[in-house]
Structure 1
């Protein structure tokens, strides 16, 4: 029965993300980057991403060796759709242990509500609507670990949680939280050992492994973890306030638990969300604070496992009043989920624009078809994942050469690729704000003009705001 939910959700997620790719709504940052890494793994190479930087090993950006698990599938089906379908399957699988545990303690009807609320939750929807990310592996692992914790099967919970160390560097902290829960509710020594493993594992990834793989020799995202104030002591003292200000942080914290009608906060399982919420709210990166992107996906299994756990005593009581309390809680959770659906990407499946191919999309397809397989291409962010399966792609215009992610200060390196695919039409849908990226439109137009005037490129074709340039056989050396 619960596998039926997984199948239905898989079809929903795969359809939404697949249509986004077909309509040129995905991006080089991040789908293109991840496809380059998986493509490299599939050919038994290090996970180097030309989009991220010349020779940049993605293990120096985030520590996610789990991506190698997709290599055999990608070798058979070399396409960005392979990553999107795999992500859809992993996110959908997480519903099975959540619904199964809800059925055990709350009954089958309640379990259907939990499956519905998880499957259409905004945290999962946000991940589906923004390309592909390694966190999709963590979602079913956390879901299975939480089911085992709720059943007091400590070793099974740990077995599901330990692989989190291979998914992303911060998830060692989630493993530590699971270990702390085991130490509190189960065998203390085992729990302490697991907590220590999580902390040490994350520390090694932050301090040793990622700097080793990074071209700069440092952790690429260290600036996001910088103290928010002049001294470490002040930063620690004000951390509780900084976690809820500005207002967007408080809104996100409420919305994380809103799909469970805030009832999940009654369960100690909710504490397993603290590490992820903590680093996000204390980060200096504003993208970490809000509801867009993929950052909340790993929290959704925690929220719904905690909801089931919080309602367990009331369901066990059996009195009419407590039964009504359980029903009211579940109805509220379903209602909140329904209310939030239109604001997040899963609603796109009902939009007419999702099923209509525009003139712009047709122009993109026609122009990119002219680029031969194996070529090197400098492409706009939205065009990159249309090319990464068959060419070597860098970003156009790209970032200055200094390995600082999203840092645009300094001169833009001149393009050296054989082709330039430039899209001047702003993105049309979630999650990016209106406008071009990574530079404002005037700056991008300037770099495009320079490519024609000084860098030895000729215009091959142009249609509906998309331009295709090719490097001339004898490029100009004018400076």
Structure 2
């Protein structure tokens, strides 16, 4: 079943597949860079990840001032794969490097899926599936919200699932193993891939893969992350409301809470069901007929078991890793079902219709909005004031200004309790929209600025809502 070696899939790639991948790359790049140019990217998470990659590029273990002074990020999430971006960042030390890399990683993931679909279903079907996948809402949400380490998982999953669907089970396992270096929860996804491999005939290989995935996640969560974390524990136990508190710091709730979260709590409130329906909708729910869909289960379980409401919906980057899984399951189900030409066209037409229906609701639609391509005059004002802050200075900035400074200063978040105290500079956008304002309300921010001025900071500039402060004795530090 493994006659085709790793890397042989490139022989099945045609000019139109490369063209599609290139067009998607340009689309993703244009959206993410334009968001950043308009000063709409965020401290959490683009600022954090740039500080991580900058640390690697400077030959240091990754830290993020945005989490806390000199906070070791390997104690937050286990993502050593980010070190791969360090050489590129050394060549071009800007947040744009991360955004372009993310666009490339996601765009290239269309290649294995379309190559597999072409072999099994024909060129027209492969092209339709590739376009629907590339424009899917889960990818759009991720591209429209900064950079995230899970972008590395997307091409790995795409290659692994295409190989798995083609019966190249050892190749599938090889592509999936690096998921252990992307993020701690993806070891569970690797375990699910192992179980599917076992179910498809390679029992020994599948069990080894599943054990490696489970062991990798447990080692990351129970050993590596607590070793690096200053608190000595995994930082996100509280999201799962660990019964009995313990070292995880959960709220408690006992057996009743555990039973609720593992049953009814997985489908309530209704936003969780809505998300699940939207995950499956582009495939007309045909993905349910493929065993490959089980690989999405670990991600869905931890999201729906979480007490963090942003994990439940369709925003941000949380559905990014689900897209290659659900579209691979779509291809697999079409192959298993053995649809007639007419039936295949009907499914593909339905997928296109749903994808087009959802497209205006998600960030890729911004590319056809005139406002996206207009530059607010305040952007130029912001950059003039930001340029007055010297390189390597310690700074506190409001959330949308942070990613404009992470490549050349030691910047933390204004108003965040864990930020480095007494920075040399403070810069705040007091006109930040309410839906982008964090962590301070307008009144809290106004009071904080007044307190800073009363305690020794001088106002360097105040223009168009931007306020720049400095401490005279530290302004050149």
Pick the TM interval, shorter chain: over 0.9
> In structure 1, the residue corresponding to 2:468 is in which secondary structure?
strand
- Deviation of 1:293 after TM superposition, in Å, equals 0.5
Q: Does 2:427 match 1:426? A: no
Alignment correspondent of 1:430 = none
- Deviation of 1:472 after TM superposition, in Å, equals 2.0
> In structure 2, the residue corresponding to 1:81 is in which secondary structure?
helix
Alignment correspondent of 2:321 = 298
> In structure 2, the residue corresponding to 1:434 is in which secondary structure?
helix
> In structure 2, the residue corresponding to 1:85 is in which secondary structure?
helix
What TM-score, normalized to structure 2?
A: 0.92
For residues 245 and 436 of structure 1, what CA distance do their matches in structure 2 show? Answer: 28
Q: Does 2:303 match 1:280? A: yes
- Deviation of 1:186 after TM superposition, in Å, equals 2.1
Q: Out of 141, 145, 169, which is 2:184 matched to?
A: 169
Q: Does 2:255 match 1:254? A: no
Alignment correspondent of 1:473 = 473
Alignment correspondent of 1:191 = 206
8 Å CA contact 2:139, 2:319 repeated in 1: yes
Q: Does 2:351 match 1:333? A: yes
For residues 307 and 80 of structure 1, what CA distance do their matches in structure 2 show? Answer: 35
CA 1:51/1:276 → structure 2, altered by over 3 Å: closer, same or farther?
A: same
- Deviation of 1:435 after TM superposition, in Å, equals 5.3
CA displacement 1:104-137 (0-9 Å, x = unmatched) = 1111001111111111000000110110000000
8 Å CA contact 2:69, 2:420 repeated in 1: no
Alignment correspondent of 1:200 = 215
Alignment correspondent of 1:113 = 128
- Deviation of 1:323 after TM superposition, in Å, equals 2.2
For residues 337 and 464 of structure 1, what CA distance do their matches in structure 2 show? Answer: 40
8 Å CA contact 2:191, 2:213 repeated in 1: yes
> Structure 1 stretch 322-331 or stretch 266-275: which is displaced more?
322-331
CA displacement 1:115-168 (0-9 Å, x = unmatched) = 111110000001101100000000000000001101111111011000000000
CA displacement 1:337-394 (0-9 Å, x = unmatched) = 1111111111111111111110221221111111111211101110000011111101
Alignment correspondent of 2:334 = 311
- Deviation of 1:236 after TM superposition, in Å, equals 3.3
- Deviation of 1:63 after TM superposition, in Å, equals 0.4
For residues 275 and 263 of structure 1, what CA distance do their matches in structure 2 show? Answer: 20
8 Å CA contact 2:113, 2:158 repeated in 1: yes
- Deviation of 1:68 after TM superposition, in Å, equals 0.2
Structure 2: tracts of 5 or more residues without a match: 1-15, 244-251
CA 1:48/1:234 → structure 2, altered by over 3 Å: closer, same or farther?
A: closer
8 Å CA contact 1:248, 1:290 repeated in 2: yes
Alignment correspondent of 2:145 = 130
Alignment correspondent of 1:409 = none
Q: Does 2:60 match 1:42? A: no
8 Å CA contact 1:424, 1:436 repeated in 2: no
Alignment correspondent of 1:376 = 394
Alignment correspondent of 1:410 = none
Q: State how 1:7-406 maps to structure 2 within 5 Å.
A: 7-227=22-242, 230-232=253-255, 234-236=257-259, 239-315=262-338, 322-399=340-417, 401=418
For residues 241 and 43 of structure 1, what CA distance do their matches in structure 2 show? Answer: 48
CA displacement 1:232-283 (0-9 Å, x = unmatched) = 4652365232111101111101111112121111111111000000100111
8 Å CA contact 1:62, 1:169 repeated in 2: yes
RMSD: 1.5
> Structure 1 stretch 335-344 or stretch 353-362: which is displaced more?
353-362
CA displacement 1:193-217 (0-9 Å, x = unmatched) = 1101111110010111001111111
Q: State how 1:399-478 maps to structure 2 within 5 Å.
A: 399=417, 401=418, 415-427=421-433, 434=435, 436-454=437-455, 456-473=456-473
For residues 239 and 258 of structure 2, what CA distance do their matches in structure 1 show? Answer: 14
CA 1:234/1:434 → structure 2, altered by over 3 Å: closer, same or farther?
A: closer
CA displacement 1:437-460 (0-9 Å, x = unmatched) = 012221122111111112x11110
8 Å CA contact 1:314, 1:326 repeated in 2: no
For residues 155 and 214 of structure 1, what CA distance do their matches in structure 2 show? Answer: 35
What is the number of residues matched between the two proteins? 452
- Deviation of 1:464 after TM superposition, in Å, equals 1.3
> Structure 1 stretch 360-369 or stretch 126-135: which is displaced more?
360-369
8 Å CA contact 2:192, 2:295 repeated in 1: yes
For residues 370 and 386 of structure 2, what CA distance do their matches in structure 1 show? Answer: 25
8 Å CA contact 2:261, 2:305 repeated in 1: no
> In structure 2, the residue corresponding to 1:459 is in which secondary structure?
strand
8 Å CA contact 2:424, 2:474 repeated in 1: no
For residues 269 and 328 of structure 1, what CA distance do their matches in structure 2 show? Answer: 22
CA 1:357/1:247 → structure 2, altered by over 3 Å: closer, same or farther?
A: same
